[in-house]
Structure 1
Amino acid sequence: MTDPTQSAPEDATLTRDGLAPRKQGRILVLACGALAHEIIALIRVNGWEHLDLTCLPAIWHNTPERIPAAVEEAVAKHRDAYEAIFVAYADCGSGGQLQATCERLGVEMIEGPHCYSFFEGNDRFAEHGDGEIDVFYLTDFLTRQFETFVIKPLGLDRHPELRDMYFGHYTRLVYQAQTDNPKLDEMARAAAARLGLAYERRFTGYGDLETSLRAVAKD
């Protein structure tokens, strides 16, 4: 587990677990590592100095059954140090288990089935319905980590002939761009070509992630 934005506590007195004493108004965002870059950017640009961030490994999206227990462990570890904890995960393949865990722990989480939905906006994404069942999505993070999170886990670096078996039912790759970055656009276009898919870029910005964090920061 990493804490990319944590700084040394102002109060040098620590609890038995080594955590800073509970601080009035401080909020911990407990997030998927795939969202770290975006959340840090939002915290900085909005001046949300009362928000801290800690992340679970992004690769756990490949084993989503691990996420609910890990979130529960992290909430237990950090709860006494913060006024509130917000879970920056959607369902993420947990089959409702993460939501049930958060409800039992009394912590809020982002609404939506996955990050592709809340980046585009859950309502807008739902409008696509089954019309995009043949779409493979990339975000800024997945574009940067395409080799690590797509190619290598599927063994396509060793067996490129398996590509059509994995992606034969897809027709398009949609890059949901959180930022205007020509380099990422080029990388996403190259990923589409590598998978043999038509390419489409949609600028989504931060979508419901920003909306959710703004509400949390204001509260």
Structure 2
Amino acid sequence: MPRNMPIPDDATLTRRGHAVTQPDGRILVLACGALAREILALIDLNGWSHVDLHCLPAILHNRPDRIPDAVEQAVTQHRPGYARIFVAYADCGTGGLLQATCDRLGVQMIAGAHCYAFFDGLAAFAARDEVTAFYLTDFLARQFDTFVWKPLGLDRHPELRDMYFGNYDRLVYLAQTEDAALTEQARACAERLGLTFERRFTGYGDLATELARGLLA
């Protein structure tokens, strides 16, 4: 069973700045829709006025084999308007195919297996090796019903809970923000799944350093 469940989502497109018709030094961050809020916050925090964000639908995580092709199509579409493109995806279950695609296209991407790893910090996450932990980020805590509970059919068949989550012993909430209400939402998710709750404040973790590395290279 995968370390965490796939995350369906609707297509998301977020752009900053003016319409781009010439590269003129602008950079495009091509990202998973689940990271839009955090990446926009980092763009604002760092004053990266030369950076735009385009998000692909997080539902691609249901079929990670489709992520490399989707990224390639987006890179091909947007490349004429930008001096450089940075891919804000980790491997995300593609088995190295996304990295191979990015290498072939000559674009950088985030290191690591998935967003849980780079929010927690790649080295720390690998050292913990928490194979029995189910993870939530701020995004998933907000959208738990839409992206976990209902897609798995638990709203209609709660008896499926043990089939999906019987091998987990705790829910780890990797918090990007200090938000008491969101923490309580995450705690309630753990209770609904019958799991022990643990909150771990990560901030933006290695997402911040990986973005800075990619954008300032």
Aligned partners of 1:145 and 1:65: how far apart in 2? 24
Equivalent residue runs for 1:129-208 within 5 Å: 129=129, 132-208=130-206
**How far 1:8 moved relative to its partner?**
3.1
Contact kept? 1:5, 1:40, Cα under 8 Å:
no
| Aligned residue number for residue 85 of structure 1 | 85
TM-score of the superposed pair, with normalisation by structure 1: 0.91
SS of match in other structure, 2:102: helix
Aligned partners of 2:121 and 2:89: how far apart in 1? 14
**How far 1:111 moved relative to its partner?**
0.2
Aligned partners of 1:145 and 1:49: how far apart in 2? 29
Aligned partners of 1:7 and 1:45: how far apart in 2? 15
Identity %: 65
SS of match in other structure, 2:173: strand
The size of the alignment, in residue pairs, is 207
Equivalent residue runs for 1:34-183 within 5 Å: 34-129=34-129, 132-183=130-181
Alpha-carbon deviations, 1:139-169, whole Å to 9, x = none? Answer: 0001111111111111101100110111111
**How far 1:95 moved relative to its partner?**
1.1
TM-score of the superposed pair, with normalisation by structure 2: 0.92
* Among 197, 208, 215, the residue aligned to 2:213: 215
Over aligned residues, Cα RMSD in angstroms? 1.1
Q: Read off the aligned partner of 1:168 and give its amino acid letter.
A: G
| Aligned residue number for residue 22 of structure 2 | 21
SS of match in other structure, 2:213: helix
SS of match in other structure, 1:36: helix
SS of match in other structure, 1:170: coil
Q: Read off the aligned partner of 1:42 and give its amino acid letter.
A: L
Contact kept? 2:108, 2:214, Cα under 8 Å:
no
Aligned partners of 2:140 and 2:94: how far apart in 1? 19
Task: Structure 2: state its 5+ residue gaps.
Answer: 1-10
